[in-house]
Structure 1
Amino acid sequence: MAQDVPIIDMSAPEAAAAAAVRAAAAGSGFFYVTQHGVPDHLVAEAFAQQRALFALPLEAKMALLQDANNRGYTPFREETLDPAHQKHGDTKEGFYFGREVAPDSPEASKPLHGPNQWPDPALLPDYRRVTWQYYEALNALGMRLLRLLALSLDLPAEHFTPMFTAPLVTLRPLHYAAEVSDPGAGVFGAGAHTDYGMLTILATDDVPGLQIWLPDSSAGAGAGGGGNWHDVAPVPGSFIINLGDMLERWTNGLYRSTLHRVINTTGRERYSIAFFFEPNFDTRVEVLPACTGPNNPPRYPPTTSGEHLLAKYAQTHAGYNVADKEAEHTAPTAMH
Structure 2
Amino acid sequence: MENMPKQDDTPEPTTISFLNCIDLSTPDVQQSVSLLKQACLDCGFFYVTNHGISQEFMEEVFSQSKKFFELPLSEKMKVLRNEKHRGYTPVLDELLDPDNQIHVGDYKEGYYIGVEVPEDDPEADKPFYGPNVWPADGILPGWRQTMEKFHQQALGVARAVARIIALALDLEADFFDKPEMLGHPIAVMRLLHYAGQISDPSKGLYGAGAHSDYGLITLLATDNVYGLQICKDKDAQPQVWEFVAPLKGAFVVNLGDMLERWSNCIFKSTLHRVLGNGQERYSIAYFVEPSHECLVECLPTCKSEKNPPKFPPIKCEAYLSQRYKDTHADLKVYNKH
TM-score, normalization: structure 1?
Answer: 0.91
Secondary structure of 2:285's aligned partner: strand
Residue of 194, 207, 215 corresponding to 2:212: 194
Match of 1:330 in 2: none
1:238-278, Cα deviation, whole Å (9 max, x unpaired): 1100000000000000111000000012x111100000011
Letter in 2 for 1:134: F
Letter in 2 for 1:257: S
Letter in 1 for 2:88: Y
Match of 1:70 in 2: 85
Match of 2:29 in 1: 14
Secondary structure of 1:272's aligned partner: strand
Secondary structure of 1:277's aligned partner: strand
1:147-182, Cα deviation, whole Å (9 max, x unpaired): 111111111111110111221000100001211001
2-structure distance, mates of 1:223, 1:237: 32
2-structure distance, mates of 1:226, 1:58: 39
Structure-to-structure mapping, 1:14-93, within 5 angstroms: 14-86=29-101, 87-93=103-109
2-structure distance, mates of 1:183, 1:212: 14
Letter in 1 for 2:314: T
Secondary structure of 2:97's aligned partner: coil
Residue of 239, 261, 264 corresponding to 1:249: 261
Aligned pair in 2 of structure 1 residues 177, 3: CA closer, same or farther (>3 Å)?
closer
Match of 1:262 in 2: 274
1-structure distance, mates of 2:259, 2:61: 28
1-structure distance, mates of 2:330, 2:81: 11
Is the contact made by 1:143 and 1:161 (CA closer than 8 Å) also made in structure 2?
A: yes
1:112-140, Cα deviation, whole Å (9 max, x unpaired): 21100011110100211111111111011
Is the contact made by 1:314 and 1:320 (CA closer than 8 Å) also made in structure 2?
A: no
Letter in 2 for 1:287: C
Is the contact made by 1:213 and 1:223 (CA closer than 8 Å) also made in structure 2?
A: no
Is the contact made by 1:18 and 1:148 (CA closer than 8 Å) also made in structure 2?
A: yes
Identical positions, percent: 44
Secondary structure of 1:280's aligned partner: coil
Compute the RMSD of aligned alpha carbons. Answer: 1.5
Is the contact made by 1:80 and 1:317 (CA closer than 8 Å) also made in structure 2?
A: yes
TM-score, normalization: structure 2?
Answer: 0.90
Residue of 152, 155, 169 corresponding to 1:139: 155
Is the contact made by 1:97 and 1:117 (CA closer than 8 Å) also made in structure 2?
A: yes
Letter in 1 for 2:155: N
Aligned pair in 2 of structure 1 residues 178, 8: CA closer, same or farther (>3 Å)?
same
Listed as ranges, the gaps of 5+ residues in structure 2 are: 1-14, 333-337
Is the contact made by 1:8 and 1:33 (CA closer than 8 Å) also made in structure 2?
A: yes
Is the contact made by 1:69 and 1:114 (CA closer than 8 Å) also made in structure 2?
A: yes
